[in-house]
Structure 1
Amino acid sequence: MTVGLRLDEAVWGLLHQALQLYRDNPRATDHLRHQLAQLEQPLRIAIAGPWRSGKSTVLNAIMGEEVAPVDGPDGSGVFTWYEDGPQPRATAYSTNQPPQELAVAKSATGMRVDLVGWRAGELRDIVVQWPTRALRQVTLIDTPAITGPDEQGRSPVMDRVLRDADAVLFLTRDGRGTDLRVLESTRDSAVGQAAPVNVILVLSRVDEAGGGRVDALLTARQLARQQYRDPRVNALCVDLAACSGLIGLAGRVLSESDFAALAQLARVSREDLETHLLSADRFVRGELPVPLDPGVRAALLDRLGLAGVRLATTLVRTGCDSRVKLSAELIRRSGLTELRESMSRFFVDRRDTLKARSALAGVEALVRAEPGPGTGELLSAVEQILAGAHEFRELCLLAALRNARLGFDAELAEEARRLVGGDGVGLAIRLGVEHDATVQRLWEAASDAQWRWRDLAEDPLLRLAQRRGAQVVVRSCEGMLAELAEGGR
């Protein structure tokens, strides 16, 4: 919440100021009107990353259905947009033809889109409408593989991701090297420097780490916590999560027949089964001590991977004696629950903030690409909004609290996280009071918190970073009090 002019109001005014300035430039005005329209549309979250980072699998796991990928005719893929709709439908957008509806076949496992007749390089976007609750508040974008930065430090695919998406799940195998350089290239603008709040870094395919051991997922989560403490990493994202999209998806779509086959495998001793899980070929073609058709084994391998089969059979042996129990435990172990919670906390709950950020980035890019009389004032307005936007500071503080680098004790850190919206952005949730609390109760809680955190912000014994963090909390409390006062008029 912004004290004074709200962020969304400031951005709306900026866009209209830019429209007036570029009124004689049709291309620019189309771009600005598009930015205005996007403010009212669902949040656009791109799932990006290098080749074989598991983008489509993570997208399917989030949706709980197998709908991706939709590959382009040249095999390289296109930008595929998944949005809510009354029935499955796909529309192709090309570089030289009008939009064309594509034939869609829905099956028990998802969908297939007919791309017969399209030539390499023709397709630019495919928009898929799919009826699911997962897309009520967001549009998910499956992107082509991102290559490393070129000689100018740019990645063309990442450049388009930043233009088209409000937020990014950036998938990486190890969170180092080229992947970090790609993310660092996203901060070469005023918006990128001032508000690096639209990226969650995801360590993906973590089930394959350490040879696919049963504890690989736990080890990956510990690694994610360690890496997030790296200043180079946490300067580029608001959170770092570890997630096996394959195992998360398996948990969401596991069938009774899948469970029955895994239960059969679980009857084999751990030592005997492990010899068959040394390779995919040995698992599918070897002689198992239990009767299990090679086709069923191949389907399990496709669904779970070797590491997933190893994990699932271990879980069945140790108490997951039904499909429901096994599904829940696979989802929990995969890291998918934590990833979805992070998306809700940093993306969905902050939809208006991220939409405003996209609009600011769009205006800044336009001004830098097409400077002219009056555009300097427009750029100054962008920078002024960035400097005054408390919403961005809240997200940055949440990220700092996430990795404990401020040094607050556990109780203070928990209260700060709640007050700046880490559990949700509603007043009652922020203030930790009952959801039906009276205005008087909300006012007293906000006022008490304001004075408590103001004392911390002025405490000379605290480090500068802690005092600045406390100042953000104070401003959040002031915003809540202003909202309550305005509501009472």
Structure 2
Amino acid sequence: MNDEVEGVRQGIVPEARALLAAARRAFGGQPHVAGLLDDCARRLDQPLRVALAGQLKAGKSTLLNALVGQDIAPTDATECTRMVTWYRHGSTPRVGAISADGARADVVVRRRPGADGLPGAHGLTFDLSALRWPAGAQREVDHLAVEWPAATLARTTIIDTPGISSLSRAVSRRTERLLADETADDTLPAADAVVYLLRRLDAADIGFLEQIGTGEHGPLGVIGVVSRADEIGSGRIDALHSARDVASRFAGELERTGLCQEVIPVAGLLAFAAATLRQREFDAFEALAAVPADDLGLALLSADRFAGSDLPLPVPPPLRAHLAARFGLFGIRLAVTLIRLGARDSSSLATELTKRSGLEELRTVLDVQFAQRADQLKAHSALTGLARVLTAHPGTAADQLLPRVRTLLADVHGFAELRLLGHLRTDELPLPPEDLTELHRLIGGTGVAAHLRLGLPPDATSRQLRDQALSAVRKWRSRAAHPLADQFTATACRTAARSAEGLLDLLQDPPTTPFARITPPR
């Protein structure tokens, strides 16, 4: 039964397919429109699309490398970082430049060695200087397409975007056009969800997030990341604690405006370096751990000082410069401290560095809020594309589909759940611990499968699932109506009750409309 529930989760994917098929039949005599609808339908079967956005030098490419666990995105300030770049799964590495008319030219990938032959901090770059277009005609590059055999990309297509506050308005406009262009008529949204990187929270960030969040055609899922979190504390060993305080402040501001579901601090440089830690680097950290703490502290006052040739440290200056570029001062201090505390090999050190970088917390949030809700996010994109097509090409029998499409697009309870999950990370509800655990589970905090939400084993029967869902509806409706409940608590309880109602609806035989309101019997 659980498999069946997962198959029709929230009912939105099957209904989206049916609506697209009906529209396709209505536009069968119009090849251009039928092709657009086919693109919408294919979107439902493709990997989730997540865009990385933020201001210039926010650390988007570094975070992408950390999430993938491989050095596949250039991080040096070359022409390729001013392009929108799509990272998809492929059987072999391949990079291409794509023009506006769809022509492709292969791009040369170069790697530069670092200290003593080790790959440098910016060891990969895409060379756009000698593109060979088909038929020899010179074209302007519209975007780059990277195919790479990485497991992460098999599940998620990642779109790396140029900084929104670039000195070149044309460069910034590429990101705005991709994610927040309200002038598009019948085109499909580029991204299903957005990870927005913040170094601070200023008018440019708020303005862009408002474009995404308030526009009719923007992506629904938005998570904030306080990137380069290690720099907030000037590289001190407690830098991530300072970053967490900043993230909480940003989260409060963004959640009040409804622009972001959650804000997570991540030290992207450290996360990527940990994912690709090499034995030579571990040996260097181990040697530095033997240096008296005061002497090493003085050496780490700045990256230039640490890499200087005048310091009597047991690691050669070129390798020290490499460590500073790869790990940053915070990463070096943390790695040395962890070795002094007992990290005995490169594997255990990498695990501890990753844990402290914030990357695992971000991956968990991405899994709960994006990956486990991928069907809903992709269906929203497909239905948004369908709505654009129907609006731009009126006068057919497909016009009667538009009200239902708009109704589905307006049903955003899943994202009320996401916002509440974000609040629960920073705000404490005046509820008993067991009720808080149940509420967190019911709104999808541990997974979106019915048995996980209801706290039942995977082999629970249909009757057990329905009984538990009905009990949850009654319980959380009662909590929401309590006269002493404050507004936030009442809203949280109503959200939990709505989630239980949605489950109860799905568990009917047959299910009715997605998340239809169920009035529990008295």
> What range describes the TM-score normalised by the shorter chain of this pair?
0.7 to 0.9
- Larger deviation: 64-73 or 425-434? 64-73
Q: What's the CA shift for 1:247?
A: 0.5
Aligned 8 A contact 1:7 1:389 in 2: no
Are 2:128 and 1:115 equivalent residues in the alignment? yes
Which residue in the other structure is 1:50 paired with? Answer: 55
Which residue in the other structure is 2:190 paired with? Answer: 164
Are 2:332 and 1:309 equivalent residues in the alignment? yes
CA separation in 1, counterparts of 2:34 and 2:201?
Answer: 39
Q: What's the CA shift for 1:63?
A: 0.7
How is 1:169-208 mapped onto 2 (pairs within 5 angstroms)? 169-190=195-216, 197-208=220-231
Which residue in the other structure is 1:142 paired with? Answer: 160
CA separation in 2, counterparts of 1:174 and 1:420?
Answer: 30
Change in CA separation of 1:29 and 1:115 when aligned onto 2, cut-off 3 Å: same
CA separation in 2, counterparts of 1:468 and 1:9?
Answer: 30
Which residue in the other structure is 1:264 paired with? Answer: 287
- Larger deviation: 59-68 or 120-129? 120-129
Aligned 8 A contact 1:148 1:155 in 2: no
SS at match of 2:157: strand
Q: Write out per-residue CA displacement over residues 309-334 of structure 1, whole angstroms, 9 at most, x where no aligned residue.
A: 12222222232232222211211111
How is 1:230-245 mapped onto 2 (pairs within 5 angstroms)? 230=253, 235-245=258-268
Equivalenced residue count is 482
Aligned 8 A contact 1:259 1:322 in 2: yes
SS at match of 2:233: helix
One-letter code of the match for 1:328?
Answer: T
CA separation in 1, counterparts of 2:327 and 2:76?
Answer: 22
One-letter code of the match for 2:163?
Answer: A
Q: What's the CA shift for 1:12?
A: 3.0
Q: Give the alignment's Cα RMSD to 1 decimal.
A: 3.4
Change in CA separation of 1:263 and 1:411 when aligned onto 2, cut-off 3 Å: same
Q: Write out per-residue CA displacement over residues 377-397 of structure 1, whole angstroms, 9 at most, x where no aligned residue.
A: 665444322334543443343
Are 2:364 and 1:341 equivalent residues in the alignment? yes
- Larger deviation: 421-430 or 340-349? 421-430
Are 2:130 and 1:89 equivalent residues in the alignment? no
1:442 to 455, 465, 468: 465
- Larger deviation: 43-52 or 391-400? 391-400
Which residue in the other structure is 2:352 paired with? Answer: 329
CA separation in 1, counterparts of 2:277 and 2:411?
Answer: 48
Aligned 8 A contact 2:40 2:383 in 1: no
Are 2:42 and 1:37 equivalent residues in the alignment? yes
Which residue in the other structure is 2:300 paired with? Answer: 277
One-letter code of the match for 1:124?
Answer: D
Aligned 8 A contact 2:442 2:499 in 1: yes
Aligned 8 A contact 2:289 2:340 in 1: yes
SS at match of 2:90: coil
Aligned 8 A contact 1:72 1:115 in 2: no
Are 2:479 and 1:456 equivalent residues in the alignment? yes
CA separation in 2, counterparts of 1:13 and 1:237?
Answer: 31
Aligned 8 A contact 2:74 2:124 in 1: no
Change in CA separation of 1:96 and 1:478 when aligned onto 2, cut-off 3 Å: closer
Name structure 2 gaps, 5 residues minimum: 113-117, 133-137, 181-188, 512-522
Change in CA separation of 1:83 and 1:62 when aligned onto 2, cut-off 3 Å: same
CA separation in 2, counterparts of 1:414 and 1:23?
Answer: 51
CA separation in 2, counterparts of 1:56 and 1:70?
Answer: 6
2:273 to 250, 268, 275: 250
Q: What's the CA shift for 1:197?
A: 3.9
Identical amino acids, percent of aligned pairs? 37
Aligned 8 A contact 1:147 1:155 in 2: no
How is 1:218-229 mapped onto 2 (pairs within 5 angstroms)? 218-229=241-252
Q: What's the CA shift for 1:34?
A: 1.4
One-letter code of the match for 2:154?
Answer: R
